[in-house]
Structure 1
Amino acid sequence: MSHLTQPNINPFAFRINDAVRYSGLSRSTLYSLESRGELRMIKAAGRRLILRSDLEAFLASNRRWAAGLSSGAVSNEP
């Protein structure tokens, strides 16, 4: 019996819940960043999406998040 596996996909954009898992940031933080103009969200097919490149650029410009992302352990401390 064969097992179906999901291929390793690198998405172009994230839904909010996926961006939360990818970045370690909370939903409320992501929405707050958008309202302050620090992170762009787009609407497509009735959903809010965050482009992977925008999220990675934000994380890279805020090294405490980027360091946690690369090590796998995100800290919410300043």
Structure 2
Amino acid sequence: MSHRSQPVPSAATLSVEELADYFRISRTGVYRLFTRGDLKPLKIGSRTVVRRIDADAFLAARVGAA
């Protein structure tokens, strides 16, 4: 059973799972965004994260394009 946590509002970064929850997409969808270059992942130790500011900018750009 997978337990997805809600992103912490003040967190500077989001894990892949948190980002998937935030965007309401699958983890595969998040990795697809990385592969296409839409979002740049960061490695911190063994963890892959995305800066929240980059995730919000990605969303804002999509809202402007809609």
Tell me if TM exceeds 0.5.
yes
Residues matched between the structures, number: 57
Q: Deviations over 1:43-75 (max 9, x none)?
A: 0011100110111111111129xxxxxxxxxxx
Identify the residue that residue 3 of structure 2 maps to in structure 1: none
Q: Structure 1: 5+ residue runs without aligned partners?
A: 1-7, 65-78
- Alignment-mate amino acid for residue 28 of structure 2: S
Alignment of 1:1-78 (within 5 A): 9-63=9-63
Tell whether the 8 Å contact from 2:20 to 2:29 is kept in structure 1 after alignment: no
Q: Deviations over 1:9-55 (max 9, x none)?
A: 51000111111111212211111111111111000011100110111
Q: TM-score if structure 1 supplies the norm length? A: 0.65
Aligned partners of 2:61 and 2:13: how far apart in 1? Answer: 19
Aligned partners of 2:53 and 2:25: how far apart in 1? Answer: 16
- Alignment-mate amino acid for residue 46 of structure 2: G
Percentage of identical aligned residues: 28
Q: Structure 2: 5+ residue runs without aligned partners?
A: 1-7
